[in-house]
Amino acid sequence: MGDPKISFSGGSFTVSGYAPAWSIGNLGQVRLADYFQITPPSSFTDPQIKLGLHILDLTWGRRGSLWLEQSLTVGGTFHLLTSGASGSLQLNNQLLWQPIRDLQFTFTFVLSGQLDDTGVKGSVNFGSQFRLTDTKSVFGGVGLRF
């Protein structure tokens, strides 16, 4: 293996998006940079940014859909916008392909690793934050109860 040429040790690529009428599953089908703004770490050099964006593309293509599915296995919070009621709920995979009227998200990709002559090895820490807004009946249609 050759000497490392470009290395990463932290620094977060951030993808923030508003995707009205998209489903969460749709996000896994696209190249994020084609539809949304990607903000690289301010401390990265141009070569690091260039390589990092390609790693992000490759990683999202291989893992994005799986991570999105897994993101629906966790709990969340809900807020009823008229009554003001709120609480917690368990998400489920029925939500994956449900178009959401107002789908907002932030993804973060923290890269660690290095590029050498053979390629790149390392790890990616992926984080997602979703804010989904639609009617009770839409969410009720995929099994969510409030």
Partner 1 sequence: MSEYPGQDYSGGQGYGDQGYGESTGDPDAGQQGDGGQYSDGQGGQSDGQGAEDEDVAIESEYSTEENIEFSMADLTSAGYEREPDDSSSDYIA
Q: Which of 47, 45, 36, 46 is nearest to 14 (CA)?
A: 36
How many positions of this chain bind partner 1 (CB under 8 A)?
68
Q: Which of 72, 140, 56, 138 is nearest to 105 (CA)?
A: 72
53, 38 Cβ separation under 8 angstroms: yes
Q: Which is nearer to partner 1, 43 or 119 (CB)?
A: 119
Residue nearer to partner 1 on the CB measure, 39 or 122: 122
CA 33 to chain centre: 12
State which of residues 9, 18, 94, 127 lies at the interface with partner 1 (CB under 8 A): 127
93 binds partner 1 (CB under 8 A): no
Q: SS in 3 state form for 87-98?
A: EEEECCHHHCCC
d(CA 19, CA 13): 19
Q: Rule CB under 8 A: is residue 120 a binding residue for partner 1?
A: yes
Instruction: Please state the closest distance from residue 43 (CB atom) to partner 1, in A.
Output: 18
Residues that bind partner 1 (CB under 8 A): 2-3, 5-6, 19-23, 26-27, 29-31, 47, 50-51, 54-55, 57-59, 63, 67, 70-71, 74-83, 89, 91, 98-99, 101, 113, 115, 117-139, 144, 146
